[in-house]
Amino acid sequence: MGRSPFSYKMCIILRMDLGMSTGKLIAQAAHAAVGASELGKKENHKAWRSWRDEGAKKVALEAESLEELEELQRKADDLYIVNLIIQDAGHTEVPAGTVTALGLGPDRSDLLDKVTGSLPLIK
| 3 confidence band (pLDDT: 50, 70, 90) | low
Percent with pLDDT over 70 in the chain: 96
**Structural domain contains residue 49:** yes
Predicted structure pTM score: 0.94
What are the tens digits of pLDDT across the range 34-67? 999 999 999 999 999 999 999 999 999 999 999 9
Per-residue pLDDT at 83? 98
Alpha-carbon gap, residue 28 to 19, rounded angstroms: 13
Looking up residue 17, the CATH number of its domain turns out to be 3.40.1490.10
- 55 neighbors 49 (Cβ within 8 angstroms): no
Asked, for residue 93, whether it belongs to a domain, the answer is yes
Q: Is residue 73 part of a domain?
A: yes
- Is 3 inside any structural domain? no
Percent share of the chain, pLDDT over 90: 94
Instruction: Answer whether residue 2 is part of any domain.
Output: no
Q: How many domains, in total, are found in the chain?
A: 1
Which residue segment(s) compose the domain that 69 sits in?
8-115
DSSP result, 80-103 = T--EEEEE--SSSSS-TT-EEEEE
Residue 122 lies in a domain: no
The string of pLDDT tens digits covering residues 61-107 is: 999 999 999 999 999 999 999 999 999 999 999 999 999 999 999 99
